[in-house]
Amino acid sequence: MITDYVFIVFSLVLLFVGAEGLVRGSTTLALRAGLSPLIVGLTVVAFGTSSPELVVSVKAGLSQQGDIAVGNVVGSNIFNIAFILGLTALVCPIPVHRQIIKIDAPIALGVALILVFFLLDQALGRFEGGLLFVGIVAYTWVNVVLARKETTTIATPSDPLTPVVSRHWIVDILFILGGLAVLVIGSSLLVEHSINLAKDFGVSDAVIGLTIVAAGTSMPELATSIVAAFRKQPDIAIGNIVGSNIFNILGILGLSSLISPLSAAGISTLDYATMIVFTVILIPLLYTGRLLHRLEGGLLLFLYGAYIFALWPA
């Protein structure tokens, strides 16, 4: 049991390091193309920080552990909104870009509803996975089109959060490949030893995926959004979370179920309802004054604590 604790902590460190390398390389490549901080946050950073969830869910699906694959995504989406945005708002109230309110937050709600509809039979097949994956391709294309309409510049050393463009694109590629390799190792360790530890306590695969694995794979999002809040980069802070939630459903579950159909009988109505409710709550919270206040952040954290309290005895 002690060995499992040690490996879980070590795997979380690997996930953080791997995601950092992947995000740094991906972001600087995007900045070479002149993308805005909001578009970088919604796509490159969001997809990069979601890479641990991708590797974990694909691995779990191939191991016929559909509850962990789906629970990881549902739990991560809940954790992203309630815990990460809640904590980030407590650190520093977050101004909200108009595009988030009008386009991306409604899309996040829409794809969450589509996922729940697809999972009414407690399974995701390859056809449904294909539809989800087409969705992430379309979403990315829309963001690229929106980016082309904006006048953008490449980041300079005065930008305290976004990495300065490296001297050569090969450096960016090395960061991306190295980050992916570390993520694969870290996610494998996290899944294996989290399952071992939780089963020692009699916890189901579904609860493992919804809590331990979901929180663990969301550490890159947590670190990125907290740093963004401290350094006054709200577009990256909130774009990272909203974009990650969209990618988790469309990209991760889409690809995972394309590779191997998923069965998720252990994920309850409470879990799906909580994901939907938090996503619904997010829209008016963002709309009020176009600022996520500390009081609203505290409310999100309280609601997350209530969800965990209700979930864990199961």
Mean pLDDT, the chain, as a whole number? Answer: 81
In the block, tokens 């994901």 appear at: 275
List the structure tokens of 3: 């060995």
Per-residue burial over 198-210, b = 16 or more CB atoms within 10 Å of its CB, e = otherwise: beeeebebbbbbb
Taking the C-alpha atoms of residue 205 and residue 212, their distance in angstroms, rounded to an integer, is 10
Fold assignment, 2-311: A middle domain of Talin 1 (1.20.1420)
User: In this predicted structure, what is the pLDDT of residue 77?
Assistant: 94
**Which DSSP symbol is given to 163?**
P
pLDDT at 35: 67
Q: What is the C-alpha to C-alpha distance for residues 202 and 195, in angstroms, rounded to an integer?
A: 10
Question: Average pLDDT, stretch 113-129?
Answer: 94
- pLDDT: which is higher, 272 or 103: 272
Residue 301 has pLDDT above 90, yes or no: yes
Lowest model confidence (mean pLDDT) among 191-195, 204-208, 296-300:
191-195
Task: Report d(CA 192, CA 7) in Å as an integer.
Answer: 9
In sequence order, the β-bridge partners of residue 95 are 291
| Residue 150 per-residue DSSP state | S
* pLDDT tens digits, 122-146: 999 999 999 999 999 999 888 877 7
Q: Which of 143, 110, 121 is nearest to 250 (CA)?
A: 110
User: 């494998």: which residue's tokens?
Assistant: 188
CB-based burial label for 172 (10 Å; 0-12, 13-18, 19+): buried
Distance between alpha carbon 295 and the CA centroid of its chain, in Å? Answer: 23
- Range in 184-193, 228-237, 259-268, 272-281 the model is least confident about: 228-237
pLDDT value at 156 more than 50? no
pLDDT number for residue 157:
43
